[in-house]
A and B are shown apart, each in its own frame.
Chain A
Amino acid sequence: MDHFVQPLPSAPASGAFPVLNDPSYPFASERQIGWQQAVVAFYVTSGVFWLVLASLFWWLNTAQAMAPNAWYAFPDVPWLTYGRVFPAFTNAFVFGWASLTGLGVAFYFLGRLSRLSWQWGVLLATAGLIWDLVLALGLWHILGGGSTGRELLEIHPSIACGFFLAAGLVSVWLLVEFWAHRNAVGYVSLWYLLAAVLAFLWVFSTGEILINIWRTGGAAQPAIQSWYVNGIHQLWLVPLALAVTYFLIPEGTDRPVYSRRLSLLGFWGYTGLAAWAGLSSFLGGPFPAWMSTVTIVANVLLLIPVLCLCVNFHFMLKGQGRAVGSNLSLRFVTTGFFLFVAAAFWTALVSFRSVDSILHFTLAMAARSSLLIAGFVSFTLSGAVYYVLPRLLRRAWLSPLLVSLHFWFAVIGLGLLLAAEVIGGMVQGFGLADPKVDFAAITDLLQPFLLVQVIAVGLLFVAHVLLAISVGLFLVFRVRERHPAAVPEARVVTRAEVPVA
């Protein structure tokens, strides 16, 4: 009956490889498994908390954009005005929900794919606490009027350096575990997980040190800033989510990764090219023409690794419609992957100079991050949460109906949002491109689209609240004793654990 029960896959014939969940596994004592459970659950639940807060800010923001004179624009309450709530929303979404939940589920998948002792689990718990504290302080500082005004670097560096400390703890733990236990990196998921953690340290320290601490001025500032934002999106959050995709699609469809070569090309192509696509936010800006050109070329070439991923997943998903329909976490992950492909094509399309000169500065540019972050990353991580928590804590979800509702609210909300951003963006873009159209007239034309945005983000807010309710009920009611059959089996070797290399 339960939607989360996986059909028990047959163990691969190819032979033995280490699995954490194997009771005979040498590293994992009860106490160490306890650390894993505590750390993953803590990261995931705090991520979900930030998601609800971020969506609330986001909803307020869309309402304020539609009606700047309404009471909820709060002209007398500085900390609730549009310009302060917006960065609070993006920071809570990216550094709260996507980063913390991403790390939490990453720790679980790492445990499934490599030998981890969890001896130093206390390091991870400390890192999580620091991360939460830094984010809470940072949001408070942004709302209080301390924002630096630079996208995703709004938190003052004296607070934000805590992120660096926390990420440093995580990476030290990871490197020590990997070197000490001579772990192989034979799984595609692992490549993306490790790449994400390494890239985060690099990207974050670049942005934080060069811009917020050294205060690099002049045109170098927006150039580096833009590279940083692109890096946080494409080199931190996207690899985290792709790691989930590469685990859950083989697992859910019970098929191994289709092609090792395509996986390799996809991985190295994506990570190598994304580092060059840094200037997407400021095409046409005050920079040498070659920098814009490199960004455009990189955005188009990125379609090659994306197509490699497509082929890989196509052959795993082919004929698996029923599995995707009945397995809710797989449904989230598959939908997320479609959004990822759509995001890549949209980004390449709006990079072309002729399209960019119309659509730059419009809502259509926001559709990029809606597809990639609110879409792909968010959907994939939701799927991961629904997969990971029952297996981690050996309990079942209270109500699959809530999960299904979350899915449909999110799909409809995101669909409406994208429609408003793409069509509204075109209206705005063609309006701006014609100097005879009065600026105020464009604002007027945008009204219906801003209204659709309010409805769309409202639906997304409901979806995210449903996720939070599911997680809350899951933690409070220990649904194990009542429905022992509903607890998914984790102590089996699944297809995701067949190494490709």
Chain B
Amino acid sequence: MPEPEIRKSAVIVETIYHEGGPVGAAPQRKAACLTVIKNPFAGKYHEDIQGFMKDLEPLGKDMAQQIIDALGGDASVVKGYGKGAIVGANGEIEHGALWHVPGGYAMRDKIAQSMAIVPSTKKLGAPGARLDVPVTHTNASYVRSHFDAMEVGLSDAPKADEILLALVMTTGPRIHERVGGLAAEDVKGEDGLR
């Protein structure tokens, strides 16, 4: 399988100062990298698709780095992450599942404290479809303050024969987090959960 054919890419950054409550010491930042690629399996059922995961690895690394760069270039600021895909109408949800491994490990390879599984979502969609990419703490999935999400999408993608791939990183908890649970400072960091 040749390398992914990229039509366009986008980087989105949000800087959140408050949400109606007190302005914190530092704003929360969320960043996403989106890449629109041709779906090599569009329009026909292919039994063997796993090889494409390997083909997506360089793209995953590049997208993860684009997000880190957008957040200032220091991967240690990243405290939450998530990933997702929107598959165009001539594809199937299974094609989006190909993004789990290359997308997730691309981020984990660049983030030192990343014991936790990367949460994900995927769906079929037309151009303009929006995806709520789930976000959790990079080192311990149960950190309640970091349960979050970022909505992403592009007005002109994915076309029917395309896949929109997404990676998301955040720099901290929800801006007014106050529902308790495991706190980031209490993480043991041994099993990826607590």
Q: Tell whether A pairs with B.
A: no
